Every structure is written in structure tokens, then in C-alpha cells.
Amino acid sequence: MFPVHRPRRLRKTEILRKMVRETTLTPQNFIYPMFVVPGRGVKNPISSMPDCFQESVDEAVKTAKDVFSLGIPAIILFGIPEHKDEKASSAYDENGIVQTAVKAIKDALPDLIVITDVCLCEYTSHGHCGIIKNGKIDNDSTLELLALEAVSHARAGADIVAPSDMMDGRVGRIRKMLDDEGFSDVVILSYAAKYASAFYGPFREAAQSAPAFGDRRSYQMDPANRREALREVALDIEEGADIVMVKPALAYLDIISDVKNNFSVPVAAYNVSGEYSMIKAAAQLGWLNEEAVMMEVLTAIKRAGADLILTYFAKKAAKLLNS
């Protein structure tokens, strides 16, 4: 008790604080999300996500070089195709936008880890993450297409595939098809506990993937549920997920912590578009210090238990950490 105990003793100087710091951020744990579009020399700003762009493959290669040179080991790619239809054909087209981008980026940067988002929502005419039958998102017929998409990404050279659709059984189906096609060493990072969140709003502008009707609550998780996340994660690991993700991150730090404490696979957290945009907006208004809040938020996500952080702040945070 006081005066014997004085926690302030360890806070006296920055050197001392650093010595006893429990959580350290490094660019090594960041994954930078990128949006690829058809064309050449295209770099469209995304209005709700300042400093983020939709880029054609040639521009994406430049950005990927920049990312890698900052010490960030990985990117995750989202594709905006030329053509959308009911069956999401462009998602598993070997000359599709993501497949083309993966090839070009791996050619230029063989050591950069290229992750692909495996989902149908960017490729379906209706914007849902699965096939529609009788007005409902049909689980089982969607699995085949997701597996075809994952294999086409692997064939293009993806190191990691990341299913984000939240259909039941997709990790197992993807693992099986990858193995059957000779891609047993391709890693699966599953969006295991993915919530039906309003924080995805800006992303849907970026990826042009807002659902044309209804919402995603029949497949993404209810934000009110905590134990269910452990069930989702357990199932994905049983089916073969190598890394599991919690998404979003900030409003779900309890879930990140639960997953970290209950499982031994690496845990990723997605610091999603809305979490990024609200900090950017407040900073533009002069209401928050962007750099300080960014570092605080990323530290909190790591402190909660995230080994890997997917974040639109990756480049900015890496620059700061490297300086």
C-alpha cells in the first residue's frame, strides 16, 4: 500500500516506460488492404476513405512496392470486376481482376505475401456474398463457387486465401479443393468471427459491393453475441483454418481477447473501413490528433490479442514506427 507502492515510479521517463512496455507495434504484423480495378494508370480516390484508392494493376504494383519497402510483409486484395452477374463468374475467372493483380504483384515482388479476399459480394449483380435461390442466400451452392475462387487465386500465385463470406462449411470445402488441386501449402486465413457491422459502410463504396436488397444479417454474426464467436472460430479451425480473424476490431476487442485466450492459432483483427474513416474525419475537422489516435487504436487491438492487424493505416503507422 501507499507509500510503499508507487506505480508512477515506472513512468518517470520515456526510456523507463519503454523498458516495461507490455505491447509493441511493429510493421511486421500489419496487412495492408488494396482495391484493384480494370484499366491502366487508374488511381481513383475513395471519398469516404481519405488516402485510399481504387487502383489498376500497374498502380497496385507500385503501391505494393511501397508497402513492402516499409517493412509491411503482406497485402490483402479486393477486386472490382468489369462484369457482375448472378453467379459471380468474374470471381473465379482465371483472367479476373484479382487473379491478374496477384500475378503481376508476385512477379514484381516474390517475397511480399499476397492474400486474397475470397467472397462473392464484389462479383454478384445483387451484391450478396452468396448465390440467391428463392430470394434467400443459399449456403451449399455457394460453397463450390467460393472454392473455385480460392483455387483460381492460388493458381495465380496467392500465398493466403481469406474467405470472408460467412457461409457454413466454406473453410472445409476450400481446404479440400485446394488440396485436390495441388495447393496444400496455401494458407487459409478465415474471417471466422465476422459481424454484421455498420462499420463496413465506407468499404462498400470502395469495393462497390453494397447489397442491392436486404442486409447481411442472415450470414454475418449478430453484434450482440460473444460466445457464438468461439463456436465459429472452433468450427473454422476444425475445418482447416490456419489463422482466424475477428472483424471489426475496435468494437470487438472482447472477442479478440476471447479468441486469443481460447485457441492456439494466430489471431488476426480487421481494423475496418468505418474505424479508419471516423478517425480520418475527426482529424480533418481538427477534433482529434490523427497520428496519436491511430497508434493508440492499433496498440489496443494488439494488446487485446491480435497477432496480425489488417489496417488502412498500415503505411502511415509503419512510416511512423520506422522513423
Contacts of 113 (CB under 8 A, 6+ apart): 73, 74, 75, 159, 160
Q: Is 92 annotated as a binding residue?
A: no
Which residue lies nearer to ligand PBG by CB, 106 or 170? 170
Give the residue ranges of DSSP H helices in 157-198: 170-180
Give the residue ranges of DSSP H helices in 54-200: 57-69, 97-108, 139-156, 170-180
CA–CA separation, 283 vs 274, rounded Å? 14
Q: Is 129 annotated as a binding residue?
A: yes
CA–CA separation, 29 vs 105, rounded Å? 20
- The CA-based angle 159-316-261, given to 5 degrees, is 60
Q: Is 204 annotated as a binding residue?
A: yes
Give the binding site for ligand PBG (CB under 6 A). 117, 119, 121, 129, 164, 200, 203-204, 216, 272-273
Strands (E), the chain: 30-36, 43-45, 53-55, 74-79, 113-118, 131-133, 136-138, 160-163, 187-194, 243-247, 267-271, 308-311
Contacts of 281 (CB under 8 A, 6+ apart): none
CA–CA separation, 44 vs 41, rounded Å? 10
Which residue lies nearer to ligand PBG by CB, 29 or 48? 48
Q: Is 52 annotated as a binding residue?
A: no
**Active-site choice (84, 103, 247, 260):** 247
* Residue 56: CB minimum distance to ligand PBG, A: 20
Which residue lies nearer to ligand PBG by CB, 155 or 204? 204
Q: Is 252 annotated as a binding residue?
A: no
* Residue 18: CB minimum distance to ligand PBG, A: 31
* Residue 266: CB minimum distance to ligand PBG, A: 19
Q: Which residues pair with 247 in a beta bridge?
A: 194
133 is catalytic: no
What helix, strand, coil percent values describe the chain, rounded to 5?
45, 20, 35
* Residue 90: CB minimum distance to ligand PBG, A: 15
Backbone angles phi, psi at 105, to 5 degrees: -70, -40
Which residue lies nearer to ligand PBG by CB, 22 or 222? 222
**Active-site choice (84, 106, 194, 280):** 194
Which residue lies nearer to ligand PBG by CB, 50 or 58? 50
247 is catalytic: yes
Residue whose C-beta lies closest to ligand PBG: 203
* Residue 35: CB minimum distance to ligand PBG, A: 10
Q: Is 123 annotated as a binding residue?
A: no
Q: Is 121 annotated as a binding residue?
A: yes
Backbone angles phi, psi at 173, to 5 degrees: -65, -40
Write out the binding residues for Mg(2+). Answer: 232
Residues marked active site are found at: 194, 247
Write out the binding residues for 5-aminolevulinate. Answer: 204, 216, 273, 312
Write out the binding residues. Answer: 119, 121, 129, 204, 216, 232, 273, 312
